Amino acid sequence: MGELAEYLRAARCKRGLTRRQLAMKLGCSITTVQRAEGGKTPPARDTVDGYIRVCVLDHTRAEALWGKAVSLRCGRTPRSYTQAPRPDLVRTADELGAALARVWEQNGRPSTREMERRAEGRYKETRAPLSRSTAERVSRRKSLPGSERTLRAYLVACEVPEAKFPMWVQAWGRVQGRRQAVRERERREAKRVIQKQAPEAKARMREAGLVPLDKFRGPVAPWSARHIPCDTVSRFRLRSVLEGTAHCPVCNELLPAVEAGTPQLWDQRS
């Protein structure tokens, strides 16, 4: 903690700043600066990030000193890393999320502000595709990068050597391919279920006085049908017909409620 405090104090003096001036630039109180340079307790991570930004410190050394100070203060060894396979062995979304979290941990768990700064330094010509919120979600395994460019920006922010980018991009591509395949299977299954339900759905519509004019696309999709009593064409939802809340927008007649013959057709109304 003393080494960290001395490092921060020397950096401030080298920049020719008083504690009050530095506090104003950091947006904190003078007391916060005094405690950071006092060496009795480790400063907050945001305070160290502020020193790195304002005093132009070597962020790798500053973060390393801060990490050791916190570990010693809390009487614990540095936290272990997330268990994850190498990028070339990644196959699932969970494995990719764990691998991305691990590189963040191995880089010293930089703050989202620092990660955003690093990405902006690499993508100077355009807005860096890595916001603080995105960095937070990916590093905490809440989501995956939404694009290859975001993945690259995240790797830059975690200081991964660019020579390793291709295998990370390949891992991301494999995961995206698997997810796309799952979505395609789910789409085909939903289509199959809808086709199987179509005859009964048409029967329920006729019971309510409607003649369907196009394909059945699901209980909540608008369905063109002719209302027999007023002989006009409008769009109705099967869910509303089954619930007894559908009415003709032309004659304003409330359609009679009908019951679904199979539970599956009724269950899908939600």
Query: Given pLDDT bands bounded at 50, 70 and 90, which one contains residue 128?
Result: low
Indicate the angle between helix axes 148-157 and 112-122, nearest 10 degrees. 110
**If you search the block for the tokens 């980018």, which residue do you land on?**
165
- Tell me the per-residue pLDDT of 49-63, one tens digit each, with 9 for 90 and over: 889 889 988 878 888
User: CA–CA distance from 151 to each of 67, 102, 142, 256 (Å)?
Assistant: 26, 14, 14, 55
For 74, other C-beta atoms within 10 Å of its C-beta total: 9
Give CA–CA dist 203/211, Å, rounded: 9
Q: For residue 253, what are its two tokens? A: 């007649």
- Tell me the per-residue pLDDT of 24-40, one tens digit each, with 9 for 90 and over: 988 888 888 898 898 88
236, 205 contact by CB (below 8 A): yes
Residue type, 196: K
Query: Strand 232-236 relative to strand 210-212: parallel, antiparallel, unpaired?
Result: unpaired
What percentage of the chain reaches a pLDDT higher than 70?
Answer: 91
Q: pTM of the predicted model, to two decimals? A: 0.50
168, 147 contact by CB (below 8 A): no
Query: Given pLDDT bands bounded at 50, 70 and 90, which one contains residue 126?
Result: low
Burial class, 93, CB count within 10 angstroms (exposed 0-12 / middle 13-18 / buried 19+): middle
